[in-house]
Structure 1
């Protein structure tokens, strides 16, 4: 069994946000001169699992897989674009997701189950180590949930069922209701699965993704500075909505107060970082002549055009 090599590169990158010495993890990887960023490369699944297991052990986090899956937002935006190029049907999009797991991350499989009212995607893993299996399922759950949410009409959200009672972290991280079930399941109404992929959301992602990548490259040479780490994490987590402080803070091994103190010592704050991101996106979107002010306001998370215009005015005073 083999895994898409860039997914290991993403894991190594994410580990750095937890102050893990990347060399500790790299030393686990057999020396075969593989370029982990090469989209044509695959690695042995056991290699990925060894690094994944070590990262879980060092961070000692019960939700490493879930948070890592949330960090992969930017990769997910690219995936949903790829799906939209191959089909306009949500049901076909789900089958593409199944194939994506089969060919690139076969450590987890997704099985479709239909009943009278529901279309269910059940996630399973043959990995025997219980703790690693749960983190893998958490990781894929976060990715697939986001893909489905991007594909379906905006007024609907996939329901999640989990085989345990401690649900708060999942509901807080994924911003959705979690119910108890026998397996990891994502549930959609049967009639929704027959509709078209949300084209307006896809166009929004297609517009923003190149700019996200440009913005991520800024300051990449100073990753050891927390304010740059916060900026990078925030951009990675855009879906394309921008995450809030609580969502970003959970990705770091620091309390809210510690992050605020460290950012103050660097002469900034999360609010300032957020404003800078919104300013850059606003300037980029302003060059798109076909977009109306209300469109830009919506993309940047403002409920009304007036709120967006007020924010732009306040930026000019800073």
Structure 2
């Protein structure tokens, strides 16, 4: 059975944030011929298991599948988001998702059960490597839970289950005999013919471009924190607890490492918000309220206060100046 190499590289992107470079994994396994840019490239199931076992031995973190799922959400966001704009039922959305998995990750089998009260999606892999199956399945479930959150209207409550659950798992997880996600039937955004205010079709490529630019700049810890924050955005930037957990650190340890580089989490957060804001200003689709929402401000007034510190004027005047300079 063959698997799309992009899934391996998704895992390796996260491992790199934890200090395990792709070369350290691929070279001993003679997989250096893999091309990260080739989305159609396939590898043998045995090869991806060898690679993931190697990373597991390096990280020594049983929850790294979940953490990689949170880190890599943006990688699959484009596909799921585009689906969400077309379909009107959750059943239809999962039909497309199942087709995607069957094509790119066929070792994962998916079964959906729907009742009037609950939708349950069961995931399983039919081989004997339970350690890596756990990593893969918890990763896939984490990604799915985050993508559905973006697809539905209003609040979304869901439950994730794993046979390996302990109290160290994130919220929403509990112990059951199988790997599942379950939730009450929900109404998709497309069913209301309403595009989400954050206009993710515009944000996604900009976020990804910024991530690649940051990766090319340097290997400082501050830069790793920036890449992690952008990769975990949905589109809100994550807080220090989420970023620390993804990097297998406590918030205090993360702050200390940043202080050694004369930086802080707050400085990085504000710098990224300013960069994202600069992009949003150039798109008339974003009102002041929408921009404040995307950047994580509870009230537009708080956003405007920060904006004036960044740019020295109000959003309306800065936007008008940008328009005048482009004409």
Moved more, 29-38 or 296-305: 29-38
Residue in 1 that maps onto 2:66: 66
Cα separation, partners in 2 of 1:312 and 1:301, compared to 1, 3 Å: same
Cα separation, partners in 2 of 1:235 and 1:31, compared to 1, 3 Å: closer
Give the alignment's Cα RMSD to 1 decimal.
2.4
Distance (whole Å) between structure 2 residues aligned to residue 196 and residue 168 of structure 1:
37
Give how far 1:28 is off. Answer: 4.0
Q: Is the 8 A contact 1:90 1:197 kept in 2?
A: no
Residue in 2 that maps onto 1:115: 115
The 5-angstrom pairing of residues 1-318 of structure 1 reads 1-31=1-31, 33-84=33-84, 86-171=86-171, 177-190=172-185, 192=187, 196=191, 199-201=194-196, 204-316=199-311
Distance (whole Å) between structure 2 residues aligned to residue 292 and residue 60 of structure 1:
45
Does the residue aligned with 1:218 lie in a helix, a strand or coil? helix
Does the residue aligned with 2:119 lie in a helix, a strand or coil? strand
Moved more, 114-123 or 81-90: 81-90
Cα separation, partners in 2 of 1:165 and 1:253, compared to 1, 3 Å: closer
Give how far 1:227 is off. Answer: 0.5
Moved more, 89-98 or 233-242: 89-98
Cα separation, partners in 2 of 1:61 and 1:164, compared to 1, 3 Å: closer
Q: Is the 8 A contact 1:63 1:135 kept in 2?
A: yes
Cα separation, partners in 2 of 1:194 and 1:153, compared to 1, 3 Å: closer
Q: Deviations over 1:156-191 (max 9, x none)?
A: 2333234355244221xxxxx334433222222236
Q: Deviations over 1:8-59 (max 9, x none)?
A: 2222232222212433311244458332320121111111111111101111
Distance (whole Å) between structure 1 residues aligned to residue 189 and residue 278 of structure 2:
37
Give how far 1:134 is off. Answer: 1.3
Moved more, 125-134 or 274-283: 125-134
Cα separation, partners in 2 of 1:197 and 1:208, compared to 1, 3 Å: farther
Does the residue aligned with 1:98 lie in a helix, a strand or coil? helix
Q: Is the 8 A contact 1:119 1:187 kept in 2?
A: yes
Distance (whole Å) between structure 2 residues aligned to residue 109 and residue 161 of structure 1:
16
Distance (whole Å) between structure 2 residues aligned to residue 304 and residue 60 of structure 1:
42
Distance (whole Å) between structure 2 residues aligned to residue 291 and residue 126 of structure 1:
47
Distance (whole Å) between structure 1 residues aligned to residue 278 and residue 242 of structure 2:
25
Relative to the length of structure 1, the TM-score reads 0.89
Figure out how many residues of one structure are paired with residues of the other and give that number: 312
Q: Which runs of 5+ in 1 are unaligned?
A: 172-176
Moved more, 90-99 or 225-234: 90-99
Does the residue aligned with 1:43 lie in a helix, a strand or coil? strand
Relative to the length of structure 2, the TM-score reads 0.87
Q: Which runs of 5+ in 2 are unaligned?
A: 313-327
